[in-house]
Amino acid sequence: EVQLVESGGGLVQPGRSLRLFCAASGFTFDDHAMHWVRQVPGKGPEWVSGISWNSGSIGYADSVKGRFTISRDNAKNSLYLQMDSLRVEDTALYYCVKDSRAVITIQFNYWGQGTLVTVSS
Amino acid sequence: QSALTQPASVSGSPGQSITISCTGTSSDVGSYNLVSWYQQHPGKAPRLMIYEGTKRPSGVSNRFSGSKSGNTASLTISGLQAEDEADYYCCSYAGSSTVVFGGGTKLTVL
């Protein structure tokens, strides 16, 4: 059974940093691209960042480019999102999402339960 | 990266068909066959319903179908059922390893 378990969310002040983690299991992690997608309650999902199987292709939404860094450790079946210079508008539920293929094809076929990030003074 | 444009809401009666449009640009929807659609019920994570514009994952009812013409993709749901009532989001590859979602459409089954 595919499982994606996010952690690392919490309450943080504007301008500070936070690192999100996603532990993956139930599939061959290094056969799949992975993504972070966030969603403000009551709003639609917003794609944040994606990474191919070997970290050779990485993309970011304009809203987070230069502030967020996605990475993965295939040996540990783990996905990360380093979030720096956080803003109030980064407040959302952050989902770890599995792509169906090794490269980014936006077949988001499995989603974690999400970890809540709240940026507030 | 501008969000794809979807109607805010659509509605239909049980048994009817509805279509949700998703309009992008020549930089996203118009350039790639990488459009996917997601269904989201309240309090749940989104569920993949259509990928590569027209393909259905296993387990998704054949009442759901996708199409694309130019810069606009569409999701059609035939034989509407009460459980289809949900929010629907389109998503497109936008080049350079980037992705863009639509603003979402709330489907009401009357």
Could you give the angle at the alpha carbon of A109 between the alpha carbons of A104 and A115, nearest 5°?
A: 95
Digit-coded pLDDT (tens) for B5-45: 999 999 999 999 999 999 999 999 999 999 999 999 999 99
Query: Does B89 contact A44 at a Cβ distance shorter than 8 Å?
Result: yes
C-alpha B102/C-alpha B90 separation (Å) is: 5
Q: What is the pLDDT of residue B28?
A: 93
- Per-residue tokens: B89: 């989001």
Touching B: A residues 89-108, CB under 8 Å: 95, 100, 104-108
pLDDT at B4: 94
For residue B46, give the nearest of A45, A62, A100 by CB distance. Answer: A45
8 Å CB contact between A81 and A20: yes
Q: List, in sequence order, every residue forming a beta bridge with A96; answer none if it has no partner.
A: A36
Residue B1 has pLDDT above 90, yes or no: no
Q: Contact A76/A30 with Cβ under 8 angstroms?
A: no
Q: Does position B2 have pLDDT exceeding 90, yes or no? A: no
Measured between CB atoms, which of A43, A44, A47 is closest to B99?
Answer: A47
pLDDT in tens, chain A (121 residues): 999 999 999 999 999 999 999 999 999 999 999 999 999 999 999 999 999 999 999 999 999 999 999 999 999 999 999 999 999 999 999 999 999 999 998 899 999 999 999 999 9
User: For residue range B59-84, what is the model confidence (pLDDT) as tens digits?
Assistant: 999 999 999 999 999 999 999 999 99
- The C-alpha atoms of residue B69 and residue B90 are separated, in whole angstroms, by 14
Asked if A107 and B89 come within 8 Å (Cβ–Cβ), the reply is no
Q: What are phi and psi of B28, to 5 degrees?
A: -130, -90
Residue A21 has a pLDDT of: 98
| Nearest of A66, A61, A117, A115 to residue A89 by alpha carbon | A117
Q: Which of A103, A79, A112, A105 is nearest to A31 (CA)?
A: A103
pLDDT for the residue B10:
97
User: What residues of B are in contact with residue A60 (Cβ under 8 Å)?
Assistant: 98
What pLDDT is recorded for position A59?
96
B91 contacts A62? CB cut-off 8 A: no
Starting at the edge strand found earlier in the chain, the sheet holding A68-73 runs A3-7, A18-25, A78-83, A68-73
Closest CA of chain B from A89, distance in Å: 16
Q: Give the CA count within 13 Å in the CB-facing half-sphere of B98.
A: 16
Using CB atoms within 10 A of its CB, is residue B83 exposed (0-12), middle (13-18) or buried (19+)? Answer: exposed
CB hemisphere CA count around A5 (13 angstroms): 7
- What pLDDT does residue B65 have? 97
A50 touches chain B (CB under 8 A): yes
Given this model, what pLDDT does residue A118 score?
97
